[in-house]
Structures are given as C-alpha cells and as structure tokens.
Structure 1
C-alpha cells in the first residue's frame, strides 16, 4: 500500500514523523493539495470509520499539519475520507492521549486495520518508540482488524470510549 502525505510544514522539522518517513522512502510528501493523489484520506473529522472493508484501496493519504488547521485542510483532499477509531498515541509529544496520533501512528493504525501489519511494523521501525504504539493498541487494533465494516468498528470503539 502506498503512503502519501499532504505536508503543510507547520511543525518542528526535527519532530516530524512524515519527514522521517520520506527520508527512508516509506512515504511520499506532497506540498500542495493538488499534487496529493486520491486514496483513503485519514481524516479525524470524517463521518465513517476506517474498516477492513476499505482494504480494496491501494493508497493511504495523511495530512501532516498542526491540529489547529487539520479540519480545514482535510476537507480539501480528494479521496474516500475515513476516521481512525479509538487509538492511543505512543509518540513522546502526545503519549497516552487518545485520538492524538502523529502521521506515522495514523498510517500504522490504518495499515493494521486493513490487514497489513508487517507494513505497519516496518513503518514504525524507524522510530525508537514505534513498537510501543503497537503494544499500547494491541487489543483494539486486533479487534478492529477482525471487523467487517465501519459499523462493526464503531461498536468495538464504543467498548473503549465507555472505559475512558
């Protein structure tokens, strides 16, 4: 599965997971919306959750920008918009915070849900904390990846939101 990033460049370049992915040729950065190819757009504001039913696509697209501009920017991208279900961040900036994933975590979570765990592991391997993301989210990711569709994913997510 191809990984593409609509890159805004409004964050600290030394802490940017998207830039690191690009350095290792694991993702392609795009500086404009127009240059970003369509695919499954990982949009935290999408109305439908990502599920294994979306596995027929061959491209994931993430938006790398500050959380303050994410909603406005995400709607400009072409493709099928899907929200990731409940997952907890493992990155040093948002560690333990639900739904505050950085770009590599969003890709890894999506890849596992879509049945591409090895690709997720390879992508996370470039980050010292990468394995922690999979460990923190092992159970929900397994359960989401066993769902049939978005409705099932939301039912599983509800189990975790009740606990929060």
Structure 2
C-alpha cells in the first residue's frame, strides 16, 4: 500500500500547513527527518528528476514531502537519503507563490509527484482538500502529462524546456 509521509519543519503557521491538513484527513503520516533515508522524498537539491518509474519505490516504501518554508529552503539541503528526487518546473496556484515556476506548496508538490508517477486519482484526491488548489492540475495539465512520459533526466529537461 502506498503511503504518504511528511516531515514538518515548524517554519510556517501550523494552521496553514497543507500536510497537517492531509494528516487530519488520514491521507498523510508525520515522521521525523531521520526516517526518510530509504523512502522516496522530494527535494530541489537532487540531481535526479522524479520519473514515472519512481512509482515502484513509492509503492514499496512511500513518499516523503518536506513541509517547510521556501524562505528557509537551505535548511533541507543536507538531508540524507538515497532516494531524493526533484520535480520538474510547474506553475503553483497557491496564494503565497502564485505563478512563480517551481515554488510549489507541499500539497502541490505531492500532487505533482503522484500525477507524474501515474497516480492521477490520488493526486486529484489530495488537491481536492483545498479550494485554492483546484486549478493546479488543470493549470499544469500539459507539462504534467509530458513529465509522466519521461524516462530520464534528459527527457525531463527537454520537456521542461518546452514550457519554461
């Protein structure tokens, strides 16, 4: 069974934490940072893009999203894990970073990862918990569909360059 985990960094207002809300819905599990090692986790510091083939690792070990502030992103630069992946560029629709390529909320990053790995219904379920997020998939539908077809970092760079 696929599991969604998150590491909460205490960098933002906890009432606005998208991952805490998913936890309240029973859709995410909070873990400590030392538990990410073998799991698939999202980090902009990886050299490797998240690909559709990551779905195997997601199925076996789950995915971890770091719930923190973009203003303090450097605090996760040294997280240790062997399965860190970065997302290709997408447009956020969140109120804080609307329209700033790549500055996704934790919720948007999770939905994008799920979509790219082919878990489209699960991505839509995650997004459905926030009214402001409803347009995220529609706004990014073409790049998401292209990223889902990528088999390598080079494919992702080429697809990303078509949009950004």
TM-score, normalised on structure 1?
A: 0.90
Structure with the bigger percentage of helix: 2
Correspondence for 1:78 among 81, 97, 118:
81
Partner of 2:20: 19
Matched, 1:107 2:110: yes
Deviation at 1:35, TM superposition (A): 4.0
Partner of 1:33: 33
Q: Distance in 2 between matches of 1:77 and 1:20?
A: 26
Q: Distance in 2 between matches of 1:149 and 1:115?
A: 16
Contact 1:22 1:29 in 2 (8 A): yes
Q: SS state of the match for residue 99, structure 1?
A: coil
Q: Distance in 2 between matches of 1:20 and 1:101?
A: 16
- Residues 11-160 of structure 1 mapped to structure 2, 5 A cutoff: 11-30=12-31, 32-36=32-36, 38-58=38-58, 59-160=62-163
Where does the alignment leave 5 or more consecutive residues of structure 2 unmatched? Answer: none
Q: Distance in 2 between matches of 1:38 and 1:65?
A: 21
Q: What is the count of residue pairs matched by the alignment? A: 160
Q: Distance in 1 between matches of 2:73 and 2:97?
A: 16
Q: Which of 69-78 and 103-112 deviates more?
A: 69-78
RMSD: 1.5
Q: SS state of the match for residue 63, structure 1?
A: strand
Deviation at 1:77, TM superposition (A): 3.9
Q: SS state of the match for residue 97, structure 1?
A: coil
For the structure 1 residues 81 and 36, does the alpha-carbon distance in structure 2 shift closer, same or farther, using more than 3 Å as the test?
Answer: closer
Contact 1:87 1:98 in 2 (8 A): yes
Deviation at 1:42, TM superposition (A): 0.4
Where does the alignment leave 5 or more consecutive residues of structure 1 unmatched? Answer: none
Q: Distance in 1 between matches of 2:157 and 2:125?
A: 27
